Amino acid sequence: MAPRAQMGSGRLSRGLLLLWALLGTGLCHAGAEVEGFSQDARTSPPVATFNWTAQLVEETYVNITQKCWEFFVDLMRNVTVSELCEWKVISRPYSLLQACLEGWADHLQYGYPNALAEQYIFQSHHRYFHNCTLEHQVYFDPPEDVLLAMIIAPICLIPFLVTLVIWRSKDGKAQP
């Protein structure tokens, strides 16, 4: 008697994985129309196909970003109120939140930055860092009219000075 081939769960799971891959890529559609005997089969309206992989990726990213947020909140519990605005203290949890959001988006090929990641970043600022003010003075660019005057004044002054030097040198007198 020949040995019987084992039909274990390994083959079944590989088969299901292949089926899932085919359904996800659109090569196999459950709603695809098959040529039938009746006229109705050929004239029925087209069935809208649904991209399951995009929905699964989005659901997965939503769940993972929630875990990223919970981890961030847990890390921020160790930060006192007086330390909330000190970058040396909050840089690690904040950077880990950003790395988690960006890393999983890249891993799932979801695209970063995205609306969900921005929502968590804004939420972190609103919840923890809204009372932080800058201790050092922030310098801004001057208004455009002042900036334009500061640029054009030296440019216009140069031809005047060159003309003055040439005029004075034509005098022919030696300067002491």
pLDDT in tens, 36-61: 434 444 554 555 554 558 889 899 99
> What percent of the chain has pLDDT above 90?
44
133-147 mean pLDDT? 79
Show the domains of the chain with their CATH numbers. 54-129 (1.10.150.510)
Entry pTM: 0.48
> How would you class 89 by CB atoms within 10 Å of its CB: exposed for 0-12, middle for 13-18, buried for 19 or more?
middle
Cα separation of 96 and 37, whole Å?
Answer: 61
Place of tokens 């790395």: 99
| DSSP secondary structure letter of residue 83 | G
